[in-house]
Amino acid sequence: MSFTIIVGNKKDLKDQRRVGVDEGRDLAFQIGCSFYECSARMGIEHVKKIFHDIVRQIRSVQNFKATLNHRKTSKVELTKKFLCRYFMCHGLRPTVRDPFL
């Protein structure tokens, strides 16, 4: 199982930005993954939130797989439910997530 997320670090260095927020967000949308911008300089809490989100994503896939193995409802129904929940959590169109928002 693998996950892709895009993280733009050094958000605090605004004047040295080379990649625009929209560029990062559009790439995440094409790939279908989450997109964050953060600053390690602003403290570990800033980065920790991103790792927490990755763990949440991994767990939700694991739970989904476990449910499939003990299913009473059809695979298609479960997949639909999972995808709805997944996209509701992560936004159909990835948005820039500030870990402190």
Ligand X SMILES: Nc1nc2c(ncn2[C@@H]2O[C@H](COP(=O)(O)OP(=O)(O)OP(=O)(O)O)[C@@H](O)[C@H]2O)c(=O)[nH]1
Q: Which residues bind ligand X (CB under 6 A)?
A: 9-10, 12-13, 39-41
Minimal distance, residue 50 CB to ligand X, in Å = 12
Cβ-contact 99, 24 below 8 angstroms: no
Q: How far is the CB of 16 from ligand X (least distance, A)?
A: 9
Residues 6 or more apart whose Cβ sits within 8 Å of residue 64: 78, 82
Residue 10 or 33: the one with the smaller Cβ distance to ligand X is 10
Q: How far is the CB of 44 from ligand X (least distance, A)?
A: 11
Query: Phi and psi for 37 in degrees, rounded to 5?
Result: -125, 140
Q: Which is nearer to ligand X, 43 or 91 (CB)?
A: 43
| Tokens coding 58 | 């991994």
The nearest distance, CB 9 to ligand X, in angstroms, is 5
Separation between Cα atoms, residue 46 and residue 90, nearest integer Å: 18
Query: Given the complex with ligand X, which of 8 and 94 has the nearer CB atom?
Result: 8
**Cβ pair 57, 85 in contact under 8 A:** no
Residue among 9 and 67 whose Cβ is closer to ligand X: 9
